[in-house]
């Protein structure tokens, strides 16, 4: 099993997926957003031409605060700003390349509740910035930049891109084989009251599907609330109610997808990766002989891919690290169990809509129901729990390290254990996987109890 380690250079603001936190509380304040715009604008001003940044967002109320602050920062650095409004994260990545912009920015906290928000940055190639580049931005933000900002005559301007949604819809539709239509398919589509609430239903409808849209009435407060990819039970019930062929649930910024078959059974990112890998392999469209996933992906996926002659290259958690490994190894398929699926022939980051379209294409060609097509392997029993902590991370306490060593010994040869800190929230994620379900449940629960006790002790 191969694994790429994350960068270890310490950073204060940037986590696994940009900067994220509670809206109007540091680091998600207008002041910090302004400084971020100034620093990133200066770092990516690398010539004498008019530099451009494109900014998109999801539907959170706090986007109205962060968008103008970022805009002011970039304009002050001498960059022209193109505002795209509410659009999926992958749409901004695509438009960054399409418009030959120097930088792309998404204001979103993805699957988090509306109280949170985040900022993630894309380079001119549409890829998320490296750890090193994010560290450079942080270093600039800590300095006095007043002497480096643009002269009054060199300030940027802001415009709104009126056809941004249409450009993305056409790009997503183009990911399907030429001439393939979705006529006759009934699809329940849950947009999580998020960034894809307009573009995703439009794309499926234009391709011929009968669309039952859910989560398409954002009000600034209801993004991801009781809907979307993190609440798949809502979609399952709707699929059965409407007699749909497939259910598609996106998250708040539509960079991940969870599917549901006609029986209401959930199809996670691992099953989607297996299905697309097999389809691309059969069509001669799979680059190389590997698929990239993270350490969280089920061993069942690894065994299935091996059975069809493919390897699984694992990275640390984060779709950015998956994308980096794909580029380094010349591969065109990768993703995460949580539903980030990266198809680099069509997108530079996870794209929930494009991934769903590839699965729908398989259903059209195969002619069988999703329950017969989309479950290619039986996952090994897996238990995942999150432990919220206060103060310093308890991961390095003696009690936690000792309990982890004991658990790894118990699983030796029959399973695996993964304990990691979330890159976006004060959470410790504990996952165990193995042949004996009762054993892995007990191991995870015991470890979580030790972590909770260590956290309480450190706070006291």
**Beta bridge mates, 211:** 187
> In this structure, what are the phi and psi dihedrals at residue 356, rounded to the nearest 5 degrees?
-60, -40
* Other Cβ atoms closer than 10 A to 181: 13
Tokens of 408: 């790894």
Q: Considering the candidates 62, 110, 344, 397, report the single residue annotated as catalytic.
A: 110
Catalytic, 146? Answer no
Determine the Cα–Cα distance for residues 69 and 63; give it in Å rounded to an integer: 10
> In this structure, what are the phi and psi dihedrals at residue 97, rounded to the nearest 5 degrees?
-75, -45
Q: Where are the alpha helices (DSSP H) in 99-143?
A: 131-141
Structural contact between residues 55 and 103, judged by C-beta atoms closer than 8 angstroms? no
Tokens of 307: 């059975």
Sheet of 2-4: strands edge to edge?
A: 2-4, 311-315, 290-294, 333-335, 341-343
Structural contact between residues 4 and 315, judged by C-beta atoms closer than 8 angstroms? yes
Across 168-287, the runs of DSSP E, i.e. the strands, are 186-190, 210-214, 246-250, 257-260, 266-267
With DSSP H G I counted as helix, E B as strand and the rest as coil, what are the percentages for the chain, rounded to 5? 40, 20, 40
The residues annotated as belonging to the active site are 110
């Amino acid at each position: 099993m191969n694994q790429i380690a994350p960068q270890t250079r310490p950073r204060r603001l940037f986590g696994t997926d940009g900067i994220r936190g509670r809206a109007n509380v540091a680091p998600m304040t207008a002041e910090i957003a302004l400084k971020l715009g100034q620093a990133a604008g200066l770092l990516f001003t690398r010539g004498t031409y008019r530099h451009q940044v494109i900014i998109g967002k999801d539907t959170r109320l706090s986007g109205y605060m962060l968008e103008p602050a970022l805009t002011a920062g970039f304009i002050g650095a001498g960059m022209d700003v193109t505002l795209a409004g509410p659009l999926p994260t992958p749409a901004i990545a695509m438009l960054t390349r399409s418009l030959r912009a120097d930088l792309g920015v998404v204001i979103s906290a993805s699957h988090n509740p509306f109280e949170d928000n985040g900022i993630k940055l894309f380079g001119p190639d549409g890829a998320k910035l490296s750890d090193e580049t994010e560290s450079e931005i942080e270093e600039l933000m800590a300095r006095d930049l007043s002497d480096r900002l643009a002269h009054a005559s060199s300030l940027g301007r802001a415009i709104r891109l009126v056809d941004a949604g249409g450009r993305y819809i056409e790009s997503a539709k183009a990911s399907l084989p030429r001439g393939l239509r979705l006529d006759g398919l009934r699809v329940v589509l849950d947009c999580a009251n998020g960034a894809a609430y307009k573009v995703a239903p439009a794309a499926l409808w234009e391709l011929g599907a009968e669309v039952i849209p859910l989560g398409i009435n954002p009000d600034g407060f209801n993004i991801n609330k009781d809907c979307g990819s993190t609440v798949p039970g809502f979609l399952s019930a709707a699929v059965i109610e409407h007699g749909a062929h497939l259910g598609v649930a996106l998250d708040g910024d539509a960079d991940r997808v969870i599917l549901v078959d006609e029986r209401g059974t959930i199809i996670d990112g691992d099953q989607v990766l297996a299905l697309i890998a097999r389809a691309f392999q059969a069509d001669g469209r799979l680059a190389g002989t590997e698929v990239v996933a993270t350490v969280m992906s089920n061993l069942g996926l690894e065994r299935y891919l091996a059975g069809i002659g493919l390897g699984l290259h694992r990275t640390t958690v984060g779709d950015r690290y998956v994308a980096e490994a794909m580029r380094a190894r010349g591969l065109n398929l990768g993703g995460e169990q949580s539903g980030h699926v990266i198809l680099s022939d069509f997108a530079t980051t996870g794209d929930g809509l494009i991934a769903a379209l590839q699965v729908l294409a398989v259903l059209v060609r195969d002619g069988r129901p999703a329950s017969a097509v989309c479950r290619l392997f039986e996952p090994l029993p897996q238990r995942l729990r999150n432990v919220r902590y206060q103060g310093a991370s308890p991961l390095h306490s003696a009690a936690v390290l000792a309990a982890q060593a004991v658990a790894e010994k118990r699983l030796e040869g029959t399973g695996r254990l993964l304990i990691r800190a979330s890159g976006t929230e004060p959470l410790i994620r504990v996952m165990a996987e193995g042949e004996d379900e009762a054993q892995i449940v007990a191991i995870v629960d015991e470890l979580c109890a030790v972590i909770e006790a260590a956290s309480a002790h450190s706070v006291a």
